[in-house]
């Protein structure tokens, strides 16, 4: 008991120590503030927030417990980033301790000695806690949902292994209320019934399925709510855009992508774009489409000797399935955060396989294996510490992504916005122009380009870009307002007033900005300007 508790505590402390530099990071505008603003609007952790959290499908998903977690942090820390990041680091440390507990319990179904169980538990939990694939979920505040969902999923499985069925169900429901990624959990429990629990030998599958029907029903409802909310928010790619073949190759590619990143976590990006047509003929997509079916066949064939590969593979595949690309959401092809929970069964299976190998080696071979694993663990730790500063702010985030994907429209656009947000308008112009060129004139990006031109004093180019944006799509209030500023600087008051009127018709709150905006100073002598903004000059 003392050994097991010591392992759990040590693994948790190691994970917390490695990720503690996350407290030096700030917020990023990529969803962080979208989680904090609704919490602030509802007064932090309050009855109004609780009612809203359990009744609102949008924004994002239906995940009321995640909203409550953010509300608690906001009540304690306000907009102080370090407090929010500290809570995420603590959650990751707890999850690492749960992985240690789960691994120890899993090994109890085998014939390993106490020393072997201790070594494998320390290895699995240590690698999980230190793995750089976990950085995105810990250092990005918006991914609190992944950490919270993983906490309840791991605790639910641990309860299931101890035959605490009602506790398992309650924790599974909490996982579903934290993030829809817990949808496959009931099927994962069925996989565990086959191995290592081997319940299928003493009970019919019909009984095992029937006892999980309530959870399966809740998972189905959660999945449908997620599809509805994501589709209304414009995040789900329409089925007609990617056909079934394209979705298949994306899904198989991701299954191998995450496995490879778990083994060799280099070349990590905060954003992996999937923009435009999917290059099915490329080896990156074509080879996995062939290899994955062969891998499944190999796992099935190996069942006659051991069920460990089968259990590990199907648990991993089920946990990846919701984010595999079969139902594409957003413009990302993959994401490090999607590997956070699926990593656990893979690490356990590899560690148990490594233990079987170590038993066949001599003393020299075991020493070499220990040295190799020690070097690998050090590599993971260095990679994790190097990855944490990527999430310091918007500029570090998108510069990191740009290193790997310089031709991504979204990355160039986001980098322009990040620099402009720091009033580095001259630096932002390069990326805004590049994004406009790569996008072929996408209206939102042209709008950004026009604004950046405006801030650089290039009013004529600003007016042209903004007019192009307005011509390609219904002009937003922001586009009309910036057009008014550009034409005012160009000495075209009629065009400026017309666009200002269009901006105020769409968004009356712009009147406050217009009243003091130096870009509109040339219009203040015109009485029509005072009538528009409701003030006299």
**Encoded tokens for 45:** 């952790």
What is the helix (H) or strand (E) element at residue 297, kind and residue range? Answer: helix 283-302
Q: Is the pLDDT of residue 487 over 90?
A: yes
Task: Verify cis geometry, omega within 30 degrees of 0, for the bond prior to 59.
Answer: yes
- Give me the DSSP letters along 101-115: HHHHHHHTTTT--HH
Q: 58 falls in which pLDDT band (50, 70, 90)?
A: low
CB of 389 within 8 A of CB of 424? no
Phi and psi angles of residue 220, each rounded to the nearest 5 degrees, phi first: -65, -45
The 10 Å Cβ neighbour count of residue 38 is 18
Mean pLDDT score, 287-305: 90
Mean pLDDT score, 17-25: 97
Euclidean distance between CA atoms 98 and 171, whole angstroms: 13
The size of the chain, in residues, is 537
Three-state secondary structure call for residue 71: helix
Q: Label each residue of 403-439 as H, E or C.
A: HHCCCCHHHHHHHHHHHHHCCCHHHHHHHHHHHHHHH
Mean pLDDT score, 307-317: 92
* Token pair 């918007």: residue: 394
With CA atoms as reference, report the closest residue to 398 among 387, 410, 386.
410
What is the helix (H) or strand (E) element at residue 272, kind and residue range? Answer: strand 272-273
pLDDT score, position 82: 97
What is the helix (H) or strand (E) element at residue 333, kind and residue range? Answer: strand 332-334
The model's pLDDT over 167-209, given as tens digits with 9 standing for 90+, comes to 999 999 999 999 999 999 999 999 999 989 888 888 899 999 9
Three-state secondary structure call for residue 43: coil
Euclidean distance between CA atoms 411 and 272, whole angstroms: 10
Q: Which of the pair, 280 or 455, is modelled with greater confidence?
A: 455
* Token pair 């250092």: residue: 139
Mean pLDDT score, 242-263: 90
Q: Where are the domains of the chain?
A: 2-391, 394-533
Three-state secondary structure call for residue 375: helix
CATH 1.25.40.10 correct for 394-533: yes
Q: Is the pLDDT of residue 362 over 90?
A: no
With CA atoms as reference, report the closest residue to 523 among 504, 503, 496.
496
CB of 99 within 8 A of CB of 125? yes
Euclidean distance between CA atoms 230 and 241, whole angstroms: 16
80: number of CA atoms within 13 Å, CB side?
A: 9
CA 90, 94, 99, 104 dihedral sign is positive
């Amino acid at each position: 008991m003392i050994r097991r508790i010591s392992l759990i505590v040590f693994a948790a402390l190691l994970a917390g120590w490695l990720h503690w530099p996350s407290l030096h990071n700030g917020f990023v505008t990529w969803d962080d503030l979208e989680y904090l603003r609704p919490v602030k609007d509802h007064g932090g952790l309050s009855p109004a927030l609780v009612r809203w959290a359990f009744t609102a499908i949008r924004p994002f998903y239906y995940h009321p417990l995640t909203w409550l977690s953010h509300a608690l942090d906001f009540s304690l820390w306000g907009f102080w980033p370090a407090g929010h990041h500290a809570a995420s680091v603590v959650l990751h440390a707890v999850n690492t301790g749960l992985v240690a507990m789960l691994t120890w319990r899993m090994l109890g179904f085998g014939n390993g000695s106490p020393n072997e169980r201790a070594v494998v538990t320390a290895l699995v939990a240590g690698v999980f806690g230190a793995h750089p694939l976990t950085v995105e979920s810990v250092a990005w505040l918006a991914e609190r949902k992944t950490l919270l969902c993983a906490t309840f999923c791991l605790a639910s499985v641990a309860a299931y292994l101890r035959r605490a069925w009602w506790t398992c169900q309650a924790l599974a429901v909490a996982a579903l209320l934290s993030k829809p990624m817990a949808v496959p959990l009931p099927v994962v429990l069925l996989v565990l019934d086959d191995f290592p629990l081997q319940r299928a030998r003493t009970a019919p599958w019909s009984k095992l399925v029937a006892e999980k029907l309530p959870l399966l029903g809740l998972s189905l409802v959660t999945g449908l709510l997620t599809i509805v909310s994501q589709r209304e928010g414009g995040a789900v790619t329409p089925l007609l855009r990617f056909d079934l073949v394209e979705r298949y190759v994306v899904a198989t590619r991701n299954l191998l992508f995450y496995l490879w990143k778990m083994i060799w976590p280099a070349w990590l990006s905060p954003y992996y774009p999937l923009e435009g047509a999917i290059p099915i003929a490329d080896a990156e997509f074509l080879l996995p489409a062939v290899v994955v079916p062969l891998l499944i066949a190999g796992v099935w064939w190996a069942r006659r000797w051991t069920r460990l590969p089968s259990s590990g593979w199907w648990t991993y595949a089920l946990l990846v399935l919701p984010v595999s690309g079969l139902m594409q959401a957003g413009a990302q092809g993959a994401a490090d955060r999607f590997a956070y929970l699926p990593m656990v069964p893979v690490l356990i299976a590899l560690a148990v396989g490594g233990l079987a190998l170590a038993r066949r080696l001599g003393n020299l071979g075991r020493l070499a294996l220990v040295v190799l694993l020690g070097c690998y663990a050090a590599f993971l730790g260095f990679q994790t510490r190097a990855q944490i500063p990527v999430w310091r702010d918007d500029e570090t985030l998108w510069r990191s992504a740009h290193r790997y994907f310089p031709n991504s429209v979204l990355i160039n656009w986001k980098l322009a916005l990040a620099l402009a947000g720091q009033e580095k308008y001259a630096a932002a112009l390069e990326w805004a122009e590049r994004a406009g060129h790569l996008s072929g004139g996408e209206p939102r990006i042209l709008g950004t380009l026009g604004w950046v031109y405006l801030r650089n004093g290039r009013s004529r180019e600003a007016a042209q870009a903004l007019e192009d944006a307005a011509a390609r799509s219904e002009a937003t209030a922001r586009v009309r307002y910036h057009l008014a500023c550009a034409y005012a600087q160009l000495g075209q008051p009629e065009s400026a007033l017309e666009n200002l009127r269009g901006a105020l018709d769409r968004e009356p709150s712009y009147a406050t900005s217009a009243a003091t905006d130096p870009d509109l100073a040339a219009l203040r002598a015109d009485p029509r300007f005072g009538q528009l903004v409701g003030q006299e000059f």
